[in-house]
Amino acid sequence: MDPIEPIDATLGPAPLTGRRESPFRYYLRFVLSRPAGIFGLVMVSAVLIITIIAPWIIPYDPEKTFPGLILEPPSGAHWFGTDATGLDVFSRVIAATRTDIPVAFAATAASMAIGVILGVIAGYFGERRGLGGAMSEIIMRILDIFQAFPVFVLALVLVAAAGSGALNVGIAIAFVNAPIFARLIRGQILGLRRMPFVEAARCAGGTPLRVAFHNVMPNVVSPAFVQASVTLGFAILLTAGLSFVGAGVPAPTPEWGLMVASGGRHIITGEWWPSVFPGLALGGTILGFAFLGEVMGQAINPLERR
């Protein structure tokens, strides 16, 4: 083998004594160095903060109707106006974060957990003979079947089978996203599996499961977190989408997709506010997560590192 020359000759003889900055500071600096990153970070932080403080900033109860005020345009009292049932749109847009965001986070966390476990097994034991190899093959083929269906259709089928409601929507979303994590992690592990440090871990006497999860897995979690940021955006979209077609969260609950669906029919008659405001909130949130995920993806690419 060739002796390894300094990977990046432009760095020259880098001092080895200098401490590399902490990963958190590195990511933060990287994200803030790009416009898309700044936008993503601002949007995501804003949405998260609003989610936390929602109960204290909404002016009205999101499920309380104002009988005399049907389809009132935006005003000082009702900033985003009222909808066809006389509900305050502003309060509902804010309160909806408490439906969409927790469902998306929980679903993403669950799909990440499932995906990482399956991915580590499929990757570490993949392309080998014996029980592990067979298991890996079975996992990958099942994932293939799931990924053969469009995500939305699959989620719709699952919710239709299990019944609507936030919990089932979350489970469905976790289910359809798990294969993405599994494939990502599997690819990373396949790349690492032949590294000498993995053999060293075997020489240490660790069981295959210990080597796979204790020694190898920690090296592949950062791409999973980046993927999580992108998945979060899609999870929100999916929650809203399912509710939009009536398969998600049931009616009085404040939820962006639901609001877009019920407010949409009034656009023709000029009452745009019940659907446009939740639509903007939804779009901005998804865009924020997507941008942040994109920039984070660049940040973990070693070629982008300086």
Partner 1 sequence: MSAGNGVVLSAAGVSTTFFTHGGEVEAVRDVSLDLRKGQMLGLVGETGCGKSVLVHSLINQVRFPGRVVDGEVRLEGEDLLSLDERSLRRVRGRKIAIIGSNPGASLDPLATIGDQLGRAITAHEKVTAPEATARAIEALESVGIPDPERRKDAHPHELSVGMAQRVLIAMALLHSPDVIIADEPTAGLDVTVQRQVLNLLRQLLADLGSATMIVTRDLGIVAQYCDDLAVMRNGSLVEHTPVVSFFDRPSEAYSRDLLGRVMTSAVGESTPAAAAPAEPQVAEPLLSVRDLVKYFPVRGARHLNVHAVNGVSFDVARGEALGLVGESGSGKTTVGRLVLRLIEPTSGTIDFAGERTSEMSEAEMRPLRSRIQMVFQEPHASLNPSTSVARNIDEPLRVSGMGRRERTERVREVLHMVHLTEADGEKFPHQLSAGQAQRVGIARAIGTEPDLVVLDEPTSQLDIAIRAEIIDLLNEISGQLDMAYLFISHDLTAVRSVCSRIAVMYLGKIVEVAPTAEMFAGQRHPYSKALLSSVLYPDPEALLPDFRLEAEIPSPIHLPEGCHLHPRCPIATPECGVTYPPLVELSPQRHAACYRSDVLVGAPAIREEGR
Contact 154, 176 (CB under 8 A): yes
Contact track, partner 1, 5-44, x by CB under 8 A: xx--xxxxxx-x--xx------------------------
Task: For residue 108, give every residue at least 6 positions away whose Cβ sits within 8 Å of its Cβ, in sequence order, or none.
Answer: 173, 174, 177, 228, 231, 232, 235
Element (H, E) at 214: none
- Rule CB under 8 A: is residue 302 a binding residue for partner 1? no
| Tokens read off for 195 | 């590294």
Contact track, partner 1, 174-203, x by CB under 8 A: ---------------------xxx-xxxxx
| Binds partner 1 (CB under 8 A): choice among 102, 187, 206, 297 | 206
- Rule CB under 8 A: is residue 131 a binding residue for partner 1? no
- Rule CB under 8 A: is residue 4 a binding residue for partner 1? yes
Pick the closer one to partner 1 by CB: 5 or 56: 5
Residue 123 vs residues 73, 110, 116, 152, 189: alpha-carbon distances, Å: 56, 20, 10, 27, 5
Long-range CB contacts for residues 201-205, cutoff 8 Å, separation at least 24: none
- Rule CB under 8 A: is residue 162 a binding residue for partner 1? no
| Binds partner 1 (CB under 8 A): choice among 1, 148, 161, 303 | 1
Contact 282, 256 (CB under 8 A): yes
Distance CA 235, CA 232 (A): 5
Pick the closer one to partner 1 by CB: 149 or 197: 197
Count of residues touching partner 1 (by CB under 8 A): 33
- Rule CB under 8 A: is residue 306 a binding residue for partner 1? yes
Counts for the chain of helices (H) and strands (E), in that order: 11, 0
- Rule CB under 8 A: is residue 161 a binding residue for partner 1? no
Segment near partner 1 (CB under 8 A); pick from 71-79, 204-212, 246-254, 292-300: 204-212
Pick the closer one to partner 1 by CB: 147 or 219: 219
Minimum separation from the CB atom of position 191 to partner 1 (A) = 12
Pick the closer one to partner 1 by CB: 84 or 195: 195
- Rule CB under 8 A: is residue 3 a binding residue for partner 1? yes
Residue among 216, 230, 224 at smallest CA distance from 123 = 216
Contact track, partner 1, 215-254, x by CB under 8 A: x--xx-----------------------------------
Residue 241 vs residues 22, 40, 115, 192, 291: alpha-carbon distances, Å: 39, 22, 23, 38, 20
Q: Is 116 helix (H, G, I), strand (E, B) or coil?
A: helix
| Binds partner 1 (CB under 8 A): choice among 142, 204, 209, 251 | 204
CA 271, 273, 277: angle at the middle one, nearest 5? 155
Q: Which residues bind partner 1 (CB under 8 A)?
A: 1-6, 9-14, 16, 19-20, 195-197, 199-208, 210, 215, 218-219, 306
